[in-house]
């Protein structure tokens, strides 16, 4: 998203939003669809636009039914509470969004015990580690027993890693043999399908339930979808109501989601801008990045020039209108989306070069930062 041009070395009227694809704004077609949507009371099951969206989502993912959710967090939570009785365990990745960023909702709301296991470098959960989450004697009443395994694809905190089909197949087989269900946090599942060339129905087939976001790269303003079997979704809908997620004339939001799904092919543009950004960053001295790791719309890199500081670098970029975020100590994430153009990417690369080339920059000169801090403290 851009406006204006640079106004100086340390400030800019221009804005390039790379912190997340949650910053997307609805397109004109979405806004028009929202204005003209046919509406009803969805708590009564009478909003036709919501019904259309849910049916479309289920069909695209190869599942029987779908439920429109206000957020991905609620979608994941409702799925966990539906799969798991109180006192059961849900196996999650220690770096998963469900475990790290969703406020412990399953424990708070459902008495479900999280069992985190380490994510491997490729984002996966080791099969042996999954098996170790099961008690040695399932009949021993001292132990909480697993009812659900949650996977995340792509695995955000591991650097946007995509889980391969062979791994998903192995996990699904393990779950079947041990009698537990699999839930997939597939917030960007359409990006995964595009990156791998694997149909989204095939990716979703390995899981009993899937949550995906409409409000990330797909560009809708609000909402996520949970898909699964008809009876499962009926129970999810009850949990959604309990959590306060039953909305009334929510077709005004669902209409944008329908446009987003029907125009999902534009995600390829985000992958192209991310590739241009990754290739450009890799060519800048002082930036550490393997472009081959960028498979979708997320670019991860580190600033390794002597005397650098990631938070200060991010602040310096922000002062020039380029907004980035740190995800993990020293690791910077940029996410491309429909509001980021090729010209925005080129401006971002120019900004990174200018910061690293400027020896006076506080991002690359700790002594200058320290002096500035002392001056600020003295002025107060």
In tens, the pLDDT along 327-350 reads: 988 999 999 999 999 999 999 999
The pLDDT value recorded for residue 151 is 98
Q: What is the DSSP letter of 224?
A: E
pTM for the complete prediction? 0.90
CA–chain centroid gap for 202, Å, is 20
Q: Which of 250, 299, 154 has the alpha carbon at shortest distance from 240?
A: 250
SS3 content of the chain, % helix, strand, coil (to 5): 45, 15, 40
The pLDDT value recorded for residue 253 is 98
Q: Is residue 355 part of a domain?
A: yes
Helix orientation angle between 310-319 and 342-357, rounded to the nearest 10 degrees: 120
Q: Which residues of the chain have pLDDT under 50?
A: 1-10, 367-380
Query: Which of 262, 282, 304 is the endpoint of a domain?
Result: 262
Number of domains in the chain: 2
The whole-angstrom separation of Cα 125 and Cα 174 is 12
The whole-angstrom separation of Cα 313 and Cα 277 is 17
Per residue in 50-106, pLDDT tens?
999 999 999 999 999 999 999 999 999 999 999 999 999 999 999 999 999 999 999
Q: Is residue 1 part of a domain?
A: no
Query: Which of 200, 229, 262 is the endpoint of a domain?
Result: 262
Residues 161 and 240 in one domain: yes
DSSP for 3-35 reads: -S-EEETTEES--EE-S-GGG----HHHHHHHH
**Where residue 208 sits, what CATH number does that domain have?**
3.40.640.10
Residues 68 and 150 in one domain: yes
Residues 177 and 106 in one domain: yes
Query: Which of 241, 262, 283 is the endpoint of a domain?
Result: 262
Residues 319 and 253 in one domain: no
**Where residue 302 sits, what CATH number does that domain have?**
3.90.1150.10
Q: Is residue 297 part of a domain?
A: yes
Residues 229 and 305 in one domain: no
Give 205's contacts (C-beta < 8 A, 6+ positions apart): 62
Residues 344 and 198 in one domain: no
Residues 94 and 224 in one domain: yes
Tokens found for residue 140: 């021993």
Per residue in 305-325, pLDDT tens?
888 789 999 999 999 999 999
Residues 170 and 297 in one domain: no
Residues 197 and 215 in one domain: yes
State the residue range of the domain holding 305.
6-23+266-379
């Amino acid at each position: 998203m851009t406006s204006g041009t640079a106004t100086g070395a340390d400030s800019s009227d221009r804005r390039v939003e790379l912190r997340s694809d949650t910053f997307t704004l609805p397109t004109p077609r979405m806004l028009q669809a929202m204005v003209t949507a046919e509406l009803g009371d969805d708590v009564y099951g009478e909003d036709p636009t919501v019904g259309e969206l849910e049916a479309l989502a289920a069909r695209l993912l190869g599942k029987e039914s779908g439920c429109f959710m206000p957020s991905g967090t609620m979608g994941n939570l409702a799925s966990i509470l539906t799969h798991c009785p109180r006192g059961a365990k849900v196996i999650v990745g220690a770096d998963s969004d469900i475990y790290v960023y969703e406020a412990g909702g399953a424990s708070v709301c459902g008495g479900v015990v999280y069992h985190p296991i380490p994510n491997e470098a490729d984002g996966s959960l080791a099969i042996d580690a999954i098996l170790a989450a099961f008690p040695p004697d399932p009949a021993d009443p001292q132990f909480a027993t697993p009812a659900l395994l949650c996977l995340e694809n792509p695995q955000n905190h591991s650097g946007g890693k995509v889980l391969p089909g062979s791994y998903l197949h192995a996990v699904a087989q393990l779950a079947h043999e041990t009698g537990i269900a699999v839930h997939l946090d597939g917030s960007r599942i359409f990006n995964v399908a595009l990156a791998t060339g694997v149909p989204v129905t095939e990716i979703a087939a390995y899981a009993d339930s899937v949550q995906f976001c409409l409000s990330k790269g797909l560009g809708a303003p609000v909402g996520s979808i949970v898909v699964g079997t008809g009876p499962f979704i009926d129970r999810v809908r009850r949990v959604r109501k309990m959590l306060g997620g039953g909305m009334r004339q929510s077709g005004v939001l669902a209409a944008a989601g329908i446009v987003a799904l029907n125009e999902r092919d534009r995600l390829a543009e985000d992958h192209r801008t991310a590739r241009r950004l990754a290739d450009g960053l890799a060519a800048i001295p002082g930036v550490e990045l393997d472009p081959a790791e960028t498979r979708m719309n997320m670019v991860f890199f580190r600033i390794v020039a002597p005397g650098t500081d990631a938070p200060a670098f991010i602040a310096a970029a922000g002062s020039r209108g380029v907004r980035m975020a740190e995800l993990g100590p020293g690791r910077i994430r940029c996410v491309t989306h429909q509001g980021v153009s090729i010209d925005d990417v080129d401006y971002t690369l120019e900004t990174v070069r200018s910061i690293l080339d400027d020896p006076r920059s506080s991002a690359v000169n700790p002594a200058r930062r320290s002096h500035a801090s002392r001056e600020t403290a003295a002025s107060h």
